[in-house]
């Protein structure tokens, strides 16, 4: 076997064989895995420090503490090991008095990746852990319930908060991204919200509302609405800020136009577009605006100086979302009806197909390095989009260089909203009909590329609900 193959296997083993969970708050008080990697290597080992560590471990072991371990799913075999002591073997859920010290908790269950977690037991602790399907390269670290119909999830620029728009509820919910605790519910009149975006400095939040055809400007610190902009269009959905953040663009689904809102004066200018505009992307130079047309599967380019426009692609499907990578000069789009993702070369405006997706792709987002495109997929509809269908939703991780699916996560009923944290370490997505948000840690691109596709193929058998 050559060196490249050995390296690939080592990387895959690092991701799948034993996942060292980075718990966002699942283990109250934190465990060893939550400490900086360099913290333990900073002190040189000497006979004196070794003796001191042994004495400290004996002191900790002299007292017992209650350890509670819950797993999703339950029924996992559990092994609790402290150095120099006999292992304790049990099954989850587990709750018992355990001698203190530095423990290694190992979990295993048929059909699941094994999971190992280091924990310092110096007081009563509770651990809430997730076991992933065998072969999955991403690792689930949490989930939480939301209000009705979470349409979008968005990390704040500092990564500390998750804002969730409630299409079937009232406005926006704000959660602590680490603890998943609900911080506030921001009401926007009598209706819910569709999308939410942040200013670059994270101080201002904009939320769109279809029913009132307006955009709410919210102070992030106080959660108070500063202003409400009426777009002069109809059924307002997606928003995007110009590079200089002086103009807010808002797509008006039913009036077939985009509102260009001057944020200093509040004045609104309407730009005519293709039918049912949804996704928006203003280029980094501020000269062009790209629009995703849902009705006919179109990608339109508008010259913002002259107003001239051109349709770059018409699939006859349903183009939904746009996300750009200005450093690479690429723009990505997904077509909900065709089940495809496309890439636009921003220099030449040529369009090519990047990859096939699962059924009914929705929201897309890029990893910060632009190497991975994440795509949420709603799955086949039921009697209407408001009713559960015969398939679970999913999230695909697609290599932007090759179009290869690197990994695939099975979601719940109508996986819709999706966002990658600013540091690229966490993936959040919503299940629209389950009123739930899931959180996963994101492995490095090197691990994904060497992972043999993760569950790209295996996940397909889990999508039909008749198989689960």
The tens digit of pLDDT for each residue in 132-191 reads 999 999 999 999 999 999 999 999 999 999 999 999 999 999 999 999 999 999 999 999
The CATH number of the structural domain formed by 3-37+60-130 is: 2.60.40
| The predicted structure's pLDDT at residue 57 | 83
Three-state secondary-structure class, residue 454: coil
- Please count the other Cβ atoms lying within 10 Å of the Cβ belonging to residue 416: 25
Q: What percent of the chain has pLDDT over 70?
A: 90
Backbone angles phi, psi at 357, to 5 degrees: -115, -175
| The predicted structure's pLDDT at residue 25 | 37
Q: 238-261 pLDDT, tens per residue?
A: 999 999 999 999 999 999 999 999
* DSSP conformation class of 205: E
Give the chain's length. 468
Q: 282-339 pLDDT, tens per residue?
A: 999 999 999 999 999 999 999 999 999 999 999 999 999 999 999 999 999 999 999 9
Q: Return d(Cα 130, Cα 48) in angstroms, integer.
A: 39
User: Is the distance from CB of 273 to CB of 260 less than 8 angstroms?
Assistant: no
| CATH code 2.60.40 region(s) in the chain | 3-37+60-130
pLDDT, mean over the chain:
91
| CATH code 2.130.10.10 region(s) in the chain | 143-467
| The predicted structure's pLDDT at residue 19 | 42
Q: Tokens 């998943």 belong to which residue?
A: 180
| The predicted structure's pLDDT at residue 45 | 65
Q: What would the mean pLDDT of 38-50 be, rounded to a whole number? A: 57
Q: Return d(Cα 368, Cα 386) in angstroms, integer.
A: 33
Fold of the domain built from segment(s) 143-467: Methylamine Dehydrogenase; Chain H (2.130.10)
Three-state secondary-structure class, residue 198: strand
């Amino acid at each position: 076997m050559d060196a490249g193959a050995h390296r690939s296997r080592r990387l895959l083993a690092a991701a799948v064989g034993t996942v060292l969970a980075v718990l966002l708050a699942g283990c109250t008080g934190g465990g060893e895995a939550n400490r900086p990697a360099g913290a333990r290597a900073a002190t040189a080992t000497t006979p004196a420090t070794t003796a001191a560590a042994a004495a400290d471990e004996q002191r900790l072991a002299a007292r017992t503490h209650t350890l509670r371990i819950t797993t999703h799913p339950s029924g996992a075999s559990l092994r609790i090991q402290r150095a120099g002591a006999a292992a304790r073997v049990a099954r989850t859920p587990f709750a018992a008095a355990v001698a203190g010290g530095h423990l290694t908790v190992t979990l295993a269950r048929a059909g699941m990746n094994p999971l190992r977690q280091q924990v310092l037991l110096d007081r009563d602790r509770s651990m809430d852990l997730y076991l992933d399907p065998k072969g999955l390269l991403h690792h689930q670290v949490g989930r939480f319930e939301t209000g009705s119909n979470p349409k979008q999830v968005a990390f704040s620029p500092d990564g500390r908060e998750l804002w969730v728009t409630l299409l079937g509820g009232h406005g926006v919910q704000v959660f602590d991204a680490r603890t998943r605790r609900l911080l506030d519910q921001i009401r926007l009149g009598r209706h819910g919200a569709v999308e939410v975006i942040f200013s670059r400095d994270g101080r201002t939040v904009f939320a769109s509302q279809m029913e009132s055809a307006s955009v709410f400007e919210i102070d992030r610190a106080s959660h108070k609405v500063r202003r409400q902009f009426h777009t002069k269009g109809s059924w307002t959905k997606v928003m995007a800020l110009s590079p200089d953040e002086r103009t807010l663009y808002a797509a008006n689904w039913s009036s077939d136009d985009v509102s260009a809102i001057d944020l200093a004066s509040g004045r609104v200018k309407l730009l005519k577009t293709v039918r049912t505009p949804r996704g928006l992307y203003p280029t980094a130079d501020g000269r062009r605006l790209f629009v995703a047309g849902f009705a006919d599967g179109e990608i339109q380019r508008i010259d913002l100086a002259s107003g001239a426009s051109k349709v770059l692609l018409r699939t006859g499907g349903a183009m939904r979302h746009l996300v750009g990578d200005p450093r690479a000069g690429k723009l990505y789009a997904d077509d909900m009806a065709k089940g495809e993702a496309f890439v636009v070369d921003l220099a030449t405006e040529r369009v090519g197909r990047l990859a096939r997706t699962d059924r009914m792709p929705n929201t897309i987002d890029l990893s910060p390095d632009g190497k991975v495109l994440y795509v949420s997929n709603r799955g086949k509809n039921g009697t209407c989009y408001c009713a559960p269908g015969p398939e679970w939703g999913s999230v695909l991780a697609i290599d932007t260089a090759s179009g290869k699916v690197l990994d695939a996560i099975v979601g719940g009923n109508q996986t819709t909203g999706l966002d990658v944290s600013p540091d690229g370490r966490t993936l959040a997505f919503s299940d629209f009909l389950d009123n739930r948000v899931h959180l996963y840690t994101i492995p490095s691109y090197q691990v994904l590329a060497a992972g043999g596709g993760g569950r790209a193929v295996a996940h397909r058998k889990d999508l039909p609900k008749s198989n689960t």
